[in-house]
Structure 1
Amino acid sequence: MAILQSIKMALRSIKGNKLRSVLTMLGIIIGVSSVIVLVSIAQGSTTNVTSQINSLGTNLLTINTFGTNLSLTEDKINKLGKLSGIQALSPVVSGRISVKKDRTSSQTTLTGTNAAYESVRNTNVSNGRFLTDIDLEYRQKIAVLGATTAQNLFGTENPVGQYIQLNGNSFKVVGVLASKGSSMGQSGDDVVIVPLSTAERLVKTTSINQVYLQGKTGQNMDLVMAEVQNSMASMYPNQTDNYSVMNQQDLMSTMSSVSNTMTMMLGGIAGISLLVGGIGIMNIMLVSVSERTKEIGIRKAIGAKRRDILLQFLIESVVLSAMGGVIGILFGLGVGKILGSALNMTVTFSSSIVLFSFLFSLVVGVVFGVFPANKASKLNPIQALRYE
């Protein structure tokens, strides 16, 4: 009951000095809302980056060779495909080409590949179909358009079954890819995909300098990567500087580490404002002790113990910080949603962060309320009664 009574007294004191209480809580409100907003934006960015990396493909390894002297031949690619940890692979020939439909023309990225590209790169077709092995075998002049390319050339019209010009050659559109958005700063939708054998004629090269490989499982990609590296070393002895083997999971780990560091930094910066809010609470509570010195003297004179006075002022400090924490949570969630909608950002709210920021505000109330409460509890009752 003593604690409940102290809480009621604290609420009456806060109500009796509304403006001062609001200004005192303002630091806590800003601190809690800052922690929630900044950490939620950082977590949203982490989620967005993770999604972009995942959109590159599932269990993905990428081999890049540098220069035409080290291009991957069909025999070497087939040898890589027979490795025990590889489920599928997709060689790629790419370049910039001119694409034209009626009077609309533009420069876009050409990707020449095989039918396995759809699964290896986690690509979905929204309309029509993807490439098939027969298309490669017979060097068919067919094309699959990225979502942006299809929009630029055909608008709202269905491109499937229609013809476009690629570097002056007529190609039939057989499919349109689902939008993947931008990935690692590059758009995955402004592209034209054609059979590998056809692309080699378009870009006038047979050099394959990039191959995507899909592992059978995501559990042992480090072992699969080592297997691929050993195979490349045997095929190209003493030329390790002329090619690279990249693991998507390594990229994911690196980006996650960077994102976590940024989240901690932003949370720490926002936490500083909470500490500043705590200093504000301490200052106001010291003023409150001075103003209520005579009240403290009367309470001590009629039998209040030191711990009663200590508890009263400490609870008042905690109530102030708790009210500021609740308002800060509501304000932070609102600001986060507004920023997410206005700036088209991914904002990921976490219940653990909300709970942590609230508990931290309570800790701040306790820590910065101890000194004023202790000062009040040590007042001499006779001197306090004579205080003017």
Structure 2
Amino acid sequence: MLTLLKNSIENLKGHKLRLIVAFIWIITGITSVVFVSSVGNAMSQVFKQSFQTIDSKTAIVYFESADSNTNESLLTPFLSSDLQELQTVEGVEKIKSSNKPLTDVISFGDENLYNGNVSYFNQNTSASFASSLTHKYKVVKGRALNASDAGKKVVVIDTFTKETLFEKSDPIGKGITIGRLNFEVVGVCDADSVYDPVDKKFRKKGSFDNVPPYSVVPNDMYNFLSGKNIKTGAINYISVTVKDGFDIPTVAKGVANKMSELHPKLEGEYKVRDQNTIQKSTEAMTKGIDKFVLVITIVAMFVGGIGIMNIMYVSVMERSKEIGIRRALGAKPSTIMYQFLVESVFITSCGGVLGIIVGYAVTIYSKNIMPFRPIPSFNSFLYSFLAIVITGIVFGLVPAHKASKVDPIKIIYK
């Protein structure tokens, strides 16, 4: 085997241009596989992060009016008194009401943001606000909020809000009005940065980061502004947490039926959105991405394999006399076949390693221009290498078999 490898290297040295062309074929294919696989990993991570806060034991029950022209503000599909009644439904562990817009749930928006009006003298705008306990932020001026700010009306405004209200002036130490409360600006955070939980650091926000700019206030102030500490108000939907051992869709449907009994005169239907079903949909999307990556791998390997097979065919034709002489001197057909097969695998293996290196470099560079950070993995490198080696064997087998069938007498006396 070692002798065959040495002979292969010597033969390839005499055809450097052909070797370079072969490497270009392979490197291009492997680079595309590594890059697409890394992008697929990143997209899967984005989907998982989008739904990581969803409790698999929780379902959403909401009301959908039968008449789209009905003024929903006149309807009262949920009452505070309903919550106690719903606790009697078998399998219910906890019932939680929310006065957030239903669209926040249906579209999977960030429920932990409060949208309000902000003003500084005659300058007015609307902004989103987050709790310092739930959202990370990158301070670019002033200071961040800390534990001593609890109960204080202080805020770290985002750069977008800063430019709108203060333009070029320094906002630190100045007072702004959020809703009807006055807050002191103690810092400014970057509206174009988002925290990446994979790298555990901030990066520039991309088009796939569906996160609006937000300012940050202490947690108790956020609860006050958003009304989370107020038990009254219109209820837009309820969250149903199911006890262990009970079927989530069945319990949630039981809650919806109970609501229909409590409000029989309403023209419409109580519907269920099962969070566990949402997670299954996410897993299905992830599997779809994996299948897409597999298709790209097969296409890239097929194209690269065709290139290798053509190159090996040319090599067999050019070296037909060499093959005839070796056969005449007693070389077995299997030895000739192994010789060309080893050359094919050697080319694909070396090209595969180079392709992985180039693919990794392209992936790392692309994070500066992609809307999200591609995530290369050891498995993608391993699978790519194994795929290209198998490609070398499969597509090198036909030319190798052709070489082993060369008739030495016809070649020598040709």
* TM tier, smaller: 0.7 to 0.9
Q: Give the CA RMSD over aligned residues.
A: 4.4
The structural deviation recorded for 1:256 is: 2.4
Name 1:187's counterpart in structure 2. 212
Name 2:257's counterpart in structure 1. 233
**Mapped contact 1:27–1:274 kept (Cα < 8 A):** no
Name 2:374's counterpart in structure 1. 347
Name 1:98's counterpart in structure 2. 117
Distance (Å, rounded) in 2 between the aligned partners of 1:127 and 1:212: 31
Distance (Å, rounded) in 1 between the aligned partners of 2:88 and 2:329: 91
After alignment, is 280-289 or 228-237 more displaced? Answer: 228-237
Q: Equivalences for 1:111-130 in 2 at 5 Å?
A: 127=145
Counterpart check, 1:73 vs 2:79: yes
CA separation of 1:348 and 1:96: change in aligned 2, threshold 3 A: closer
Q: Equivalences for 1:227-266 in 2 at 5 Å?
A: 227-237=251-261, 241-266=268-293
Distance (Å, rounded) in 1 between the aligned partners of 2:184 and 2:274: 33
Q: C-alpha offsets along residues 298-355 of structure 1, whole Å, 9 cap, x if unaligned?
A: 1112111111101101111111111111111111111111112332522122222221
Distance (Å, rounded) in 2 between the aligned partners of 1:208 and 1:118: 26
CA separation of 1:263 and 1:350: change in aligned 2, threshold 3 A: same
The structural deviation recorded for 1:259 is: 2.9
Q: Equivalences for 1:11-160 in 2 at 5 Å?
A: 11-55=9-53, 60-66=58-64, 67-68=72-73, 69-80=75-86, 85-86=92-93, 89=96, 91-93=98-100, 97-108=116-127, 127=145
Q: C-alpha offsets along residues 203-247 of structure 1, whole Å, 9 cap, x if unaligned?
A: xx932213445x478x76x73453233123212236795333323
After alignment, is 373-382 or 190-199 more displaced? Answer: 190-199
Structure 2: tracts of 5 or more residues without a match: 65-71, 102-113, 138-143, 196-204
Distance (Å, rounded) in 1 between the aligned partners of 2:63 and 2:146: 33
Secondary structure class of the residue paired with 1:349 = coil
**Which letter maps to 2:80?**
E
Distance (Å, rounded) in 1 between the aligned partners of 2:325 and 2:18: 24
Distance (Å, rounded) in 1 between the aligned partners of 2:43 and 2:383: 20
The structural deviation recorded for 1:96 is: 5.8
Q: Equivalences for 1:144-223 in 2 at 5 Å?
A: 164-167=176-179, 169-170=180-181, 185-187=210-212, 189=214, 193-195=222-224, 206-212=233-239, 215=241, 223=247
After alignment, is 300-309 or 149-158 more displaced? Answer: 149-158
Counterpart check, 1:6 vs 2:9: no
| Identity within the alignment, % | 26
The structural deviation recorded for 1:64 is: 3.1
Distance (Å, rounded) in 2 between the aligned partners of 1:226 and 1:158: 54
Relative to total residues, which structure has the larger helix share, 1 or 2? 1
Distance (Å, rounded) in 1 between the aligned partners of 2:17 and 2:145: 62
**Mapped contact 1:52–1:183 kept (Cα < 8 A):** no
The structural deviation recorded for 1:87 is: 5.1
Q: C-alpha offsets along residues 172-200 of structure 1, whole Å, 9 cap, x if unaligned?
A: 58999x97789983538369844489689
CA separation of 1:173 and 1:54: change in aligned 2, threshold 3 A: farther
Q: C-alpha offsets along residues 64-123 of structure 1, whole Å, 9 cap, x if unaligned?
A: 334341342222234456876545735234596422244542124589xxxxx999xx66
Secondary structure class of the residue paired with 2:214 = coil
Ranges of 4+ aligned residues in structure 1 off by more than 6 Å: 122-126, 141-159, 173-176, 178-184
CA separation of 1:46 and 1:128: change in aligned 2, threshold 3 A: same
Name 2:198's counterpart in structure 1. none
**Mapped contact 1:70–1:242 kept (Cα < 8 A):** no
Distance (Å, rounded) in 2 between the aligned partners of 1:365 and 1:13: 17
**Mapped contact 2:86–2:95 kept (Cα < 8 A):** no
The structural deviation recorded for 1:270 is: 4.0
Counterpart check, 1:312 vs 2:323: no
The structural deviation recorded for 1:282 is: 1.0
**Which letter maps to 1:76?**
D
The structural deviation recorded for 1:248 is: 3.0
Name 2:322's counterpart in structure 1. 295
Q: C-alpha offsets along residues 2-51 of structure 1, whole Å, 9 cap, x if unaligned?
A: x1111111111222211111102222211111111101101111101211
State the number of aligned residues. Answer: 362
**Mapped contact 2:208–2:371 kept (Cα < 8 A):** no
- Which among 371, 386, 397 is matched to residue 359 of structure 1? 386
**Which letter maps to 2:40?**
A
| TM-score, normalised via structure 1 length | 0.76
CA separation of 1:42 and 1:233: change in aligned 2, threshold 3 A: same
- Which among 365, 371, 375 is matched to residue 402 of structure 2? 375
Distance (Å, rounded) in 2 between the aligned partners of 1:258 and 1:226: 25
CA separation of 1:361 and 1:241: change in aligned 2, threshold 3 A: farther
Structure 1: tracts of 5 or more residues without a match: 112-116, 136-140
Name 1:114's counterpart in structure 2. none
**Mapped contact 2:118–2:178 kept (Cα < 8 A):** yes
After alignment, is 367-376 or 48-57 more displaced? Answer: 48-57
The structural deviation recorded for 1:386 is: 2.4
